[in-house]
Amino acid sequence: MSTLVIDMAAPPTKSQLELIDAADARHHLIFPAGTGIATLMAKVVDKKSAAFIQQPSAPALFLSMAYKAHRASKKAESGIKFTDELMGSGLQDGGTFDFFELRMQHVIFSYGALEAYANESIPDPFTWPTTNSRGESVTLNRDETERRVSLDEKLEHILTTVFGKASIKGGPLWNKFKTLKGLRDRLIHLKHFDSRAKPDAEDNSVWADLYASRGTDFTMQAHEIITYFNGAARTWARKFPFEELAKRAESSALRADRNRGKRARRESKK
């Protein structure tokens, strides 16, 4: 990519727009530079040296991982083993657990996409008047707002202020967010009931609710919320879902499975 002098006032050429459109959608930011395009860079440092990478978009990465997990969970669903056996003779062979791992990834990463988007959308400088745990009025700066204000409040109040939008609270988008948040919170803050839920318990365990959510793609709901605020301004949001990336990941996983199978057959012949 070109790193020539950037003139933000100059409109992008057709060639530059084509280059931007062809680039990986998970870049944090791509913009015209000279006759080419440029992207933000991030320093990666280890003990011996420092190098740079093209900076990724955190919300895009979360959405991409969550979307891949949802697609994979649909395929893994066929491997779920339902059984009435409560003793060792009915042990799982792994397919059930693969499904739940993928659903956990899907829920947690979908929520992570929303949180990353909300945090990076807060302008700098920024102040937010609120009340602390002692009931005192305080004013938070940008960094304090990121750390100390809940995602609920960011979506309900802060992003509506930043983007001049009506509050989503009480509407369909808010209900979708609260469903996602409820599952995510139960997974991150797993309680005794969910780890030791009895088969005859009246309330659903988190595993029952995860299974019940199998038809819901939370990435689409997270993306819908992002788009409501200013998703159209983000290249990664306009290009989502990242079908080609998901297909590429599935092809790589399939090749890896085939290679493991070949190695296993060779080992069995020795």
pLDDT band at 175 (very low <50, low <70, confident <90, very high): very high
Cβ neighbours for 33, distance < 8 A, ≥ 6 positions apart: 1, 2, 3, 4, 5, 6
Which stretch of 5-14, 36-45, 105-114, 231-240 has the lowest confidence by average pLDDT?
5-14
pLDDT band at 45 (very low <50, low <70, confident <90, very high): confident
pLDDT at residue number 116: 97
Residue 197 predicted with pLDDT over 70 = no
Which stretch of 68-82, 121-135, 185-199 has the lowest confidence by average pLDDT?
185-199
Give CA 133 to chain center in angstroms.
30
Residue 18 predicted with pLDDT over 70 = yes
Residue 249 predicted with pLDDT over 70 = no
Which stretch of 70-84, 112-126, 153-167 has the lowest confidence by average pLDDT?
70-84
Which residue matches tokens 């860079």?
A: 41
Residue 123 predicted with pLDDT over 90 = yes
pLDDT band at 234 (very low <50, low <70, confident <90, very high): confident
Residue 227 predicted with pLDDT over 50 = yes
pTM of the model: 0.82
Average pLDDT over residues 152-173: 95
Residue 92: phi and psi, rounded to 5, are: -70, 155
pLDDT at residue number 219: 96
Average pLDDT over all residues of the chain? 85
162 close to 123: Cβ distance less than 8 angstroms: yes
Distances (CA, A) of 155 to 120, 142, 252: 13, 15, 37
Which stretch of 105-109, 201-205, 261-265 has the lowest confidence by average pLDDT?
261-265
223 close to 231: Cβ distance less than 8 angstroms: yes
Residue 52: phi and psi, rounded to 5, are: -125, 150
